[in-house]
Amino acid sequence: MKKLLAVMAVIMAGVYAAPAQAADPDEAIKYRKYVMGTVGDHTQAFFAILQGKVPHTGELAYHARALAEAAKRTKAAFEQNTAGQGNEPTTTLDSAWDGPQFQAGLDKMIDATESMAVAVETGDMASVGAIAGTLGCKGCHDNYRSK
Ligand code: HEC
């Protein structure tokens, strides 16, 4: 058992060869886009169902929960300031790294998507409608993304 644990530790160390501090800027930018892309996909799927464009009402709770979980991951995704670094295309404006306002925008989205998921899970559809307009996607993009 002890031997097995030791072997696993070695394997894990190899798999999760975590960089000591910062990631390569291009990788950090790509990761950020993967996470935001997931947020975007679940949001689109959620609204397509909510607005009756597709009939998959049984999937609404899944997308709401997946959106809330993805939203929580945006904090890590925006941890590394990549301003002026790397070759990977990015639309994040330098001002996103300036202060607490951008982070507050992420926090607001995290809270709103969590509340929305709970509302769907408890069948409180009136609240879903009210919260859906307060996710803050457009506001943040208008302020912190290049066109
Ligand atoms: C607090 C700011 C903020 C909030 C809130 C926010 N975003 Fe973003 N989002 C960004 C920034 C900055 C980028 C640019 C990422 C990059 O290119 O480096 C981005 C990029 C994206 C992308 C493009 C990802 C890619 O592949 O390039 C999508 C899609 C997206 N956001 C969807 C959403 C949706 C949907 C919401 C709301 C549920 C949302 N975002 C909320 C800041 C935000």
Domain assignment of residue 107, yes or no: yes
% pLDDT > 90, the chain: 84
Count structural domains, the chain.
Answer: 1
Ligand 1, residues 27, 31, 34, 39: which to mutate, most atoms within 8 A of Cβ? 39
Domain assignment of residue 95, yes or no: yes
% pLDDT > 70, the chain: 86
> How many other CB atoms are found less than 10 A from the CB of residue 85?
15
Place of tokens 């990015």: 90
Those residues with Cβ within 8 angstroms of residue 86's Cβ, 6 or more apart along the chain or in another chain: 24, 25, 26, 28, 29
Domain assignment of residue 91, yes or no: yes
Domain containing 132 equals 23-144
Those residues with Cβ within 8 angstroms of residue 146's Cβ, 6 or more apart along the chain or in another chain: 91, 92, 93
Higher pLDDT, 22 or 119: 119
Which residues surround ligand 1 with Cβ inside 6 Å? 29, 32-33, 36-37, 39-40, 43, 90-92, 96, 102, 105-106, 109, 135-137, 140-141, 144-145
Domain assignment of residue 3, yes or no: no
Domain assignment of residue 8, yes or no: no
Ligand 1, residues 31, 81, 137, 146: which to mutate, most atoms within 8 A of Cβ? 137
- Which CATH number is 46's domain given? 1.20.120.10
Distance between terminal CA atoms of the chain? 56
Domain assignment of residue 134, yes or no: yes
Condensed to tens digits (0 to 9), the pLDDT of residues 2-20 reads 666 666 665 666 666 665 5
Asked if the model's pLDDT at residue 102 lies above 70, the reply is yes
- The b/e string for 92-112 (b: 16+ C-beta within 10 A; e otherwise) is beeebeeeeebeebbebbbbb
Domain assignment of residue 11, yes or no: no
Distances from the Cα of 67 to the Cαs of 62, 115, 120, 142, in angstroms? 8, 11, 12, 21
Domain assignment of residue 18, yes or no: no
Tell whether pTM > 0.85: yes
